[in-house]
Amino acid sequence: MADGAAHDTFRIEARNWLEENCPPSMRTPMSDADVIWGGKGQVFHNPEAKLWLERMGEKGWTAPEWPREYGGGGLSRGEAAVLQQELGRIKARPPLFSFGLWMFGPALLEFGSEEQKKRFLPDIVMGRTRWCQGYSEPGAGSDLADLQTKCEDKGDHYLINGQKVWTSYANHADWIFCLVRTDTSVKHGGISFILFDMKSEGVETRPILLISGSSPFCETFFTDVKVPKDQLVGEVNGGWTIAKRLLQFERQSISASGFGASTAGAGALGPHDIAKAKIGVNSDGALADGDLRGRIAKHLMYNKAFGLTVRRSTETAKAGGDIGPTTSILKYCGAKLNQDKTELVVEALGADGLGWSGDGFDKDELDATRAMLRAKGNSIEGGTSEVNLNVIAKRVLGLREHQ
Amino acid sequence: MTFILTEDQQLLRDTAIAFARDELPISRLRDLRDQAANGVDAEARAKLAELGFFGVMIPEAHGGSDFGMVGMGQIMEAQGRTLAATPLLQTALIGASVLGLGGSDAQKDAWLGKIASGETATALALDEGAHHNPDAIATTATEDGEGYLLSGAKRFVPNGQFADLFLVVARANDGLSLFLMPKDASGLSVQSLNTLDAHGAADLTLDNVRIDASAMIGQAGEASTLIDAVLDRARIGLAAEMLGSASMAFEMTLDYLQTRKQFGQLIGSFQGLQHRAAIMFTELELLRSSVGAALSAVDTGRNDVAELASLAKARAADTLHLISNECVQMHGGIGMTDAHEAGFVLKRARVAEALYGGAGFHRDRYARLNGF
């Protein structure tokens, strides 16, 4: 690498610091139950997880590229990449999962006032405040800009009434970043971006039970919620620009995580490993179920081509090329891949993939079944696959709107 | 592995695309077909030689330009964009690779210069049945004094109808061997085939064809590794050509969606067609990454070339199959007429899909390489 020498000093610094500060249990593989989301309600079952978050937070390395003045690490892109490599080298767990870090913080850095950045960003870096995203409404899903949650100017405060849905972890969140309607006479130009405390009077959350048995989302109700005026971000009626930018950050974080496909049940085994174990092989070593074998091979090849496309897109970006057209396909392909993979795993498991709970099934098997069910949401959340195809057709291919 | 072209590679690509567009348009393939030329185009061959395209995988010492597989891939993609019938795959890629990877110094001296200059066109005579199967070789090579006697039959040999030198795979000493066989060898008969894609091919019959031991590549019965390496390069080169054809057919279709009106609307404004167009674009992007990775893997000597070759060829087959069908369907009635180009895409697609293994062959191979 051309910039290798310039970062040698930083690499040694980072390596030494991590060696001293990353506790031993934070260098082991983690399960969903080990994830730290931060916030006032966070319970640390492992004291080393708390220590790890505190140390990384104080260093600003939970948000390596955010400016020092807001609690971030103040690292250059190159240094942040080196830090990522060093964290990977010791297999360190991420100290914090956070919508504040992935979505809200980056948007606030671009659109927030100086006072708002100083007030909110440091607590995100330290994992002290857990944020949720108030976007979708019962009548505004794919057509997000049709949102109706009302926000009235009452002189010294705003008054909010309405309902959000699919609010991820709203029942665990301390604060919400929320899209509200401040003008009913225009669609996109009547939306504002506002922040408030989830403990405010008039806020109620109800978890939604999914087909997978988990409840990662809530219905969220606002009845006469009073919000101080200095908590509106950007201009009144200027929220749609911020909303779209934040969606870009969201899609980036979804694509980068691959929907957690790597940890989606049945350990780290691929569908072909499971199928071999559960179904058996012919004398030539080929999986005995020829039809399933062909479908698994097709899936693995699609997965490989997808990985190569992510790499090509990264390389093209580094070389200064236009990656818009290539990245537009990642969300669509990523959802399809994770759905195909989790379905193939359940099919390969046979009866062992058809349990719901209790004795008679391994934890990995139960997780795999639930992962298949949960994955159905991948082509709905963060923009449905159909909306993604619309975006490719119109913005990349230049096809026109129907008149 | 890298997906970014160097300045020289980019220049080669631009030259190849402009050349194919200006000198070898689809209308030229149509003319060849109408003249019943069976894919023989001496004028095109001379121009390709002039540009030095036959020597891109040959070292400078032997008269080539040593651009490697990535360079070759750019030229193959360019010729795929116009469905051009040329000797490049069989000669510049396969012939140069057989001799470059397996030839003795004397064999290299004798042939590489002639390949690079375009003087000698080669053709790989491998498959014998209806389906690609490098393990099912029945042609025999029997020791006879200072040489070998070859007997057997070869099916659907691309460029076989005009090749000057055949690269014949035959069984000897319980293994596979490769022999250089001139077209006028006694006992060799060449039956020209009028093929679906108008590129032509030939069936060969070998009746005790005598080959001198000096015309054997490597040791008797030990050519399997060489054949695998050459076939993987051929599959990757063919996948690059198919990427070009699929891209061209997609652009042609997209253009039609933006011009053709029905019900007072551009048909490209209908969501039913928009989503299918978006899916084709997605498949093309995945194919471009697969081909780029495979081309680059050959040049950097990676150990997963076989896996990447099967990935590229299978994805190329699936993608070109889809796009060649959609190209006809979205053009509607005009797409069914011989006057339109869509039919030429479809016909070339089916031949390229099957050559050196279709999607099924390569998915099976990919599974095997991954242990299941």
Averaged pLDDT for residues B321-338: 98
Of A300, A312, A393, the CB nearest to B289: A312
pLDDT at residue B248, rounded to an integer: 98
pLDDT at residue A326, rounded to an integer: 78
Which residue is associated with the tokens 């099976």? Answer: B364
Q: Do the domain assignments include residue B1?
A: no
| A35 vs A44: CA distance, rounded Å | 10
pLDDT at residue A7, rounded to an integer: 83
pLDDT of B236 over the 60 cut: yes
pLDDT at residue A266, rounded to an integer: 44
Helix axes A290-318, B271-299, angle to 10 degrees: 80
The CATH number assigned to the domain holding B116 equals 1.10.540.10
pLDDT of A183 over the 70 cut: yes
Averaged pLDDT for residues A275-290: 96
Domain with CATH 1.10.540 in chain A: 4-97
Which residue is associated with the tokens 């010791």? Answer: A90
> Nearest-CA neighbor of B82 among B141, B148, B127, B24?
B24
* Same domain? B45 vs B107: yes
Which of A144-153, A249-258, A382-391 has the weakest average pLDDT? A249-258
Q: Which residues of B touch A285 (CB under 8 A)?
A: 368, 371-372
| A274 vs A269: CA distance, rounded Å | 7
pLDDT band at A262 (very low <50, low <70, confident <90, very high): very low
pLDDT at residue A78, rounded to an integer: 86
Averaged pLDDT for residues A145-150: 97
| A3 vs A14: CA distance, rounded Å | 16
* Same domain? B349 vs B299: yes
CATH of A4-97, one of 1.10.540, 3.40.720, 1.10.10, 2.40.128: 1.10.540
Which of A315-329, A378-392, B186-200, B357-371 has the weakest average pLDDT? A315-329
Across the interface, do B275 and A305 touch by the CB < 8 Å criterion?
Answer: no
> Nearest-CA neighbor of A36 among A120, A101, A113?
A101
pLDDT at residue A254, rounded to an integer: 66
Residues of B within an 8 Å Cβ radius of A: 1-4, 254, 257-258, 264-266, 268-271, 274-275, 277-279, 281-282, 285-290, 292-293, 310-311, 314-315, 360, 363-364, 366-368, 370-372
For A204, phi then psi, to 5°, come to: -135, 140
| Distance in Å from the first CA to the final CA of chain A | 51
pLDDT at residue B174, rounded to an integer: 87
State pTM to two decimals: 0.89
pLDDT of A5 over the 80 cut: no
pLDDT of B70 over the 90 cut: yes
Q: Do the domain assignments include residue B209?
A: yes
- Confirm whether A250 is a catalytic residue: yes
* Residue-wise pLDDT tens digits, A252-261: 776 655 554 4
pLDDT at residue B38, rounded to an integer: 94
Expressed as residue numbers, the domain containing B241 is 224-369
Q: Do the domain assignments include residue B172?
A: yes
| B198 vs B348: CA distance, rounded Å | 8
| A13 vs B208: CA distance, rounded Å | 74
Domain with CATH 1.20.140.10 in chain A: 264-396
Question: Strand pairing of B122-125 and B165-172?
Answer: parallel
Question: Residue B194: which residues within 8 A CB-CB, separation 6 or more?
Answer: B36, B38, B200
Q: CA of A282: which chain B residue's CA is closest? A: B372
Burial of B58 by CB count in 10 Å (0-12 exposed, 13-18 middle, 19+ buried)? buried
pLDDT of A265 over the 50 cut: no
The CATH number assigned to the domain holding B175 equals 2.40.110.10
pLDDT of A156 over the 90 cut: yes
> Nearest-CA neighbor of A349 among A266, A231, A257, A255?
A266
pLDDT of B209 over the 50 cut: yes
Q: Do the domain assignments include residue B2?
A: no
Q: What is the DSSP letter of B334?
A: G
Question: Would the ipTM clear 0.90, i.e. be above it?
Answer: yes
> For a pLDDT cut of 70, what percent of chain A falls above it?
95
Q: Which residues of A touch B282 (CB under 8 A)?
A: 329, 332-333, 392
Structure tokens, B60? 């400078």
pLDDT of A2 over the 50 cut: no
pLDDT at residue A267, rounded to an integer: 52
pLDDT of A94 over the 80 cut: yes
> Nearest-CA neighbor of A167 among A214, A206, A197, A115?
A206
pLDDT at residue A268, rounded to an integer: 64
Averaged pLDDT for residues B33-58: 97
Q: Do the domain assignments include residue B334?
A: yes
Across the interface, do A287 and B290 touch by the CB < 8 Å criterion?
Answer: no
pLDDT at residue A1, rounded to an integer: 41
| B301 vs B350: CA distance, rounded Å | 31
Last residue of a domain, one of B65, B99, B120: B120
For chain B, the domain total comes to: 3
Averaged pLDDT for residues A58-71: 97
Across the interface, do A308 and B278 touch by the CB < 8 Å criterion?
Answer: no
* Same domain? B340 vs B235: yes
pLDDT at residue A263, rounded to an integer: 39
* Same domain? B284 vs B363: yes
pLDDT band at B176 (very low <50, low <70, confident <90, very high): very high
| B55 vs B114: CA distance, rounded Å | 9
* Same domain? B241 vs B343: yes
* Residue-wise pLDDT tens digits, B148-162: 999 999 999 999 999
pLDDT at residue A317, rounded to an integer: 82
Last residue of a domain, one of B120, B135, B166: B120
Structure tokens, A69? 């003045």
Mean pLDDT of chain A: 92
Q: Do the domain assignments include residue B93?
A: yes
Q: What is the DSSP string of B177-212?
A: EEEEEETT-TTEEEEEE--TTSS-EEEEEEEEEEEE
Q: Which residues of A touch B4 (CB under 8 A)?
A: 315-316, 319, 321
pLDDT at residue A257, rounded to an integer: 55
> For a pLDDT cut of 70, what percent of chain B falls above it?
100
Across the interface, do A329 and B282 touch by the CB < 8 Å criterion?
Answer: yes
Across the interface, do A393 and B278 touch by the CB < 8 Å criterion?
Answer: yes
| A149 vs A164: CA distance, rounded Å | 8
Q: CA of B359: which chain A residue's CA is closest? A: A298
* Same domain? B130 vs B202: yes
Alpha helices by DSSP H, listed for A22-76, are 47-59
| A93 vs A35: CA distance, rounded Å | 9
* Residue-wise pLDDT tens digits, B239-296: 999 999 999 999 999 999 999 999 999 999 999 999 999 999 999 999 999 999 999 9
Last residue of a domain, one of B85, B120, B155: B120
The CATH number assigned to the domain holding B278 equals 1.20.140.10
Question: Residue B326: which residues within 8 A CB-CB, separation 6 or more?
Answer: B253, B276, B280
**CATH classification (class only), A131-242:** mainly beta
> Nearest-CA neighbor of A123 among A58, A168, A167?
A58
pLDDT of A250 over the 90 cut: no
Burial of A210 by CB count in 10 Å (0-12 exposed, 13-18 middle, 19+ buried)? middle
Domain over A264-396 is classified CATH 1.20.140.10: yes
Q: CA of B293: which chain A residue's CA is closest? A: A308
Averaged pLDDT for residues B347-368: 98
Q: What is the DSSP letter of A103?
A: I
For B39, phi then psi, to 5°, come to: 75, 10
Range list of β-strands (E), chain B? 122-125, 140-144, 147-158, 165-172, 175-182, 188-193, 201-212, 216-217, 261-262, 265-266
